[in-house]
Chains A and B, each alone.
Chain A
Amino acid sequence: MALVTLKPYKEPELYLECNNISPDAFAGKTAAEISELEVREGKTRVRLGDYFEVSGKPGDTAEQTEIHIAGDCSRIKYLGTKMTAGSIKVDGNADMYVGGWMKGGKIHVTGNVHSFCGIAMEGGEITVDGNAENYVGSAYRGDWRGMRGGTIRIRGNAGNDIGTFMLGGTIIIEKNAFIHVSTHAEGGCVVIKGDVEGRVGGQMVKGDIYVLGKIQYMLPGFKKIATVEKEIDGVSARFNHYIGDLGERHPRSKGKEIYANLFVMAS
């Protein structure tokens, strides 16, 4: 792997939209060329080099390129958008849309991320050591094709609307989540290791949810069918198995209706 280091040296007055910070955009360029890449501050076009000191040299392909942002990205949006390979590491926080529409590679944020982390993701891995705001791994506004693959791991808490319209892949929230988990989902797996307030699996057609803590308010559309032993993300436990959302349309396979599964740790 060839390493490129970006060192933020100036805080933007607005937010910077940096779709261009990705191994795909950097691969094969020199540090000077990377500095010239266009990013936007509001409606103004600026250069990446206006805000970051670029050093090192990327690989010839995205796969061989490692990006290290040695500083806080609290005002940087769209890190790693559509990236297909390689890696990005952020020392600190990042703003919205980290790893949006990502197809492969790895992103590691050591601080917190804002909303829309991993939106409409298709593959790859995102790890956030801190908390995430809302819309982790959700679909783009209006779209019915949400996250399709890959893994998002939030080591802290997450807000609302996790995995909306999810079709595949895995989202793991290691602490608590607020409301709306896997709304409208037709696949994929969401694991919440802490508690959730409610609205878990509303209008969910297919897919799995694991809650290792408590759900404060269960939706009435889920029905308990069994208690089962399960292992999920390194934890073995007994879970109450619910199916749902019974108010939603469900596909049939071999004469049986397919439901979404909600596993809540048995107390």
Chain B
Amino acid sequence: MAEIIIKNGFVVDPARKINGDVMDIAIKDDKIVEKVGSGAKEIDARGKVVMTGGVDIHAHVAGPKVNVGRLMRPEDKLFKSPNAQAPYRIESGFSIPSTFKTGYDYARMGYAFVMEAAMPPLHSPHVHEEIHDTPIIDQGALPVFANNWFVLEYLKNREIENSAAYTAWLLAATKGYGVKLVNPGGTAAWAWGLNCLTLNDPVPFFDITPAEIISGLMQTNEYLGLPHSIHIHQNSLGTPGNYEITLDSFRLAEGVKANNKFSRDSVMHSTHVQFHSYGGDSWRNFESKAKEVMDYINGQKNITVDLGCVTLDETTTMTADGPFEHHLNQLNHLKWANTDVELETAAGVVPYVYDKDIKVCGIQWAIGLELGLYAKDPMRTFITTDHPNAGPFIRYPRIIKWLMSKKAREETLESMKYTDKVIDATNIHSLDTERTLYEIAQMTRAGPAKALGLSHIFGSLAPGMEANVVVYDLNFNDMPDDPEQIERAFLRSSNFIKSGDIVVKDGDIVSHGNKRTFWVNAKVKENPQVIRDIHEKFLKEYTVGLGNYSVWDCLAPNPYVIDIDVEA
């Protein structure tokens, strides 16, 4: 690593309100600096767009359920695994790519940080082993909390301090980044063959409601002052008419204030809202409620969302929402895997084909994009596909194309078998909004970095920031008429410099980079009750001993630890 200068590109850096100014970006070692010496390596970005590295707030890219998907779907690799090019590793798979392909593909698209969206705590060593095997990109992982027996018991008794002490312990034990909620209470209910489809369905045995879990974990999160807010996959995912439940859970954030030292304003990140913005009461009269959901978000400033856009591909769904995967399997009769993770969570995996010629899939596609187009604040609305649930992450460039080009949206809409029915059930056809590069940079960089509490490292090209710089072959002043060129440019960047290391050149990988694992170490006052509870539960209920539970340091050999002193 040394000095690099990226010259004369159109810089798009919303964090500094820079929109297409022709500037040079200077890098020294792994940081962006004001200027470099004359000996710096020059990269010519004339006529091209320069942004900071992308930040993906939600993707399932490492861990046991991803691996179950890989094992269960050898056909996902068929004809999609080109021969390795020395000295790089073979890349295989499409919706559930190998770890190497995951790292390479993100890097080609200019992404610097990816958050693994659901880590089952018991299996966190596996998650970290896979993260370590994924080259180039920095990663973190969110352990799941909302169906964890400790949490359910503490929150039922309204013991926020105990919940916080346990949360801090679990984050350290699993080297986790923040608090993930998946179908709060519903996944725990799945152990009894049940689900929690509204916010007031009591969880069997624990006698607590999803609303209490969500509010309790929100308070826990702000008590600890974690960099990220709670990150929630709401109840009743993927069910017609679920938008009301979505709005109900948003309302739980009303009046809650963010408490942290990471300039995060939000207290709730609602993930893959596409799956939660459904109207109708069956698949027959299924319709978009994207407008209703986004209208609320637009007015409620302490919530962030990511889209979870359906990309119309054959993919592999995987979630800790066990009952939902069972429901999906009953719909499509394909393969189904189901796992119970002791006191903590569950998971399911089912392949799914989002066929553009099926009406429901067309409507789902429209809903994801409508949400992205209705959003008034791109700093709080992020592009994702809930990879691989609504589509693989390598389709982000395609979503960007659809968001930036009405022409591209209309072409896709026209190619469907039930174009008219999709138009009737959605608003996509009447939306003329076309997102700008500035807004795309907000939705993929500045916004998610801020929501994750990482805006001091990622999401901007300001001096002092991590040296993640990507050059896309797009002329800011003369954008292509053909929307395909937008997709192509974002899929294979001209150059990508990750932490000061040139990792991509002309769309090809040229270095394995220097990846790191981000995790949060929150120091709380010693809590004898929680320590006793942990020892007791491990003795009585777990199949592993406490001593074998925590992630060894050697599994995350390149850590970036964010320390928080809660007492201070």
Contact = CB atoms under 8 A, between A and B. Distances in A.
Interface of A: 43, 140-144, 249
Main SS of the interface on chain A?
Answer: loop
A143 B78 contact: yes
B383 to A, nearest CB: 30
A142 B334 contact: no
A141 B333 contact: no
Interface hub of B72, B333, B334 (most chain A Cβ within 10 A): B333
B523 interface: no
Interface string B52-94: 0000000000000000000011111010000100000000000
Contact of B74 (A43, A141, A249): A141
B191 to A, nearest CB: 26
B4 to A, nearest CB: 35
A142 B73 CA distance: 6
A32 B83 CA distance: 25
A107 B480 CA distance: 47
A144 B78 contact: no
B456 interface: no
A142 B95 CA distance: 14
Nearest to A205: B333
Given A142-B74, A142-B75, A142-B76, 12 more contacts: A140-B74, A140-B75, A140-B78, A141-B74, A141-B75, A142-B72, A142-B73, A142-B335, A143-B75, A143-B78, A144-B334, A249-B333
Interface in B107-140: none
Contacts of A143: 75, 78
Contacts of B72: 142
Nearest to A45: B83
Contact of A144 (B76, B83, B335): B335
Contacts of B334: 144
14 contacts: A43-B83, A140-B74, A140-B78, A141-B74, A141-B75, A142-B72, A142-B73, A142-B75, A142-B76, A142-B335, A143-B75, A144-B334, A144-B335, A249-B333
Main SS of the interface on chain B?
Answer: loop
Interface string B327-338: 000000111000
Interface size band for B: 10 to 19
Nearest to A144: B334
The 9 closest A-B pairs by CB, nearest first: A143-B75, A142-B74, A142-B75, A141-B74, A140-B75, A142-B73, A140-B78, A144-B334, A249-B333
Interface in B312-354: 333-335
Contacts of B335: 142, 144
A144 B73 CA distance: 10
Contacts of A249: 333
B141 to A, nearest CB: 27
Contacts of A141: 74-75
Interface string B505-546: 000000000000000000000000000000000000000000
Contacts of A144: 334-335
A144 B75 CA distance: 9
A101 to B, nearest CB: 8
A129 B563 CA distance: 72
A140 B73 CA distance: 10
Nearest to B76: A142
Contacts of B76: 142
Contacts of A140: 74-75, 78
B391 to A, nearest CB: 19
A144 B335 CA distance: 9
A143 B335 CA distance: 10
Nearest to B78: A140
B358 to A, nearest CB: 16
Nearest to B77: A142
A78 B78 CA distance: 14
A144 B72 CA distance: 12
A172 to B, nearest CB: 26
Interface hub of A141, A142, A143, A144 (most chain B Cβ within 10 A): A142
A43 B82 CA distance: 12
Contacts of B73: 142
A43 B86 CA distance: 12
B322 to A, nearest CB: 21
A43 B84 CA distance: 10
A141 B78 CA distance: 9
Nearest to A120: B78
Interface string B130-157: 0000000000000000000000000000
A249 B332 CA distance: 12
A197 B72 CA distance: 29
A99 to B, nearest CB: 16
Nearest to B351: A144
A236 to B, nearest CB: 37
A105 B173 CA distance: 60
Contacts of B74: 140-142
Contacts of B333: 249
A47 B194 CA distance: 60
A164 to B, nearest CB: 13
A187 B506 CA distance: 47
A106 to B, nearest CB: 23
A43 B76 CA distance: 21
Nearest to A248: B333
A169 B74 CA distance: 24
A140 B76 CA distance: 10
A141 B75 CA distance: 6
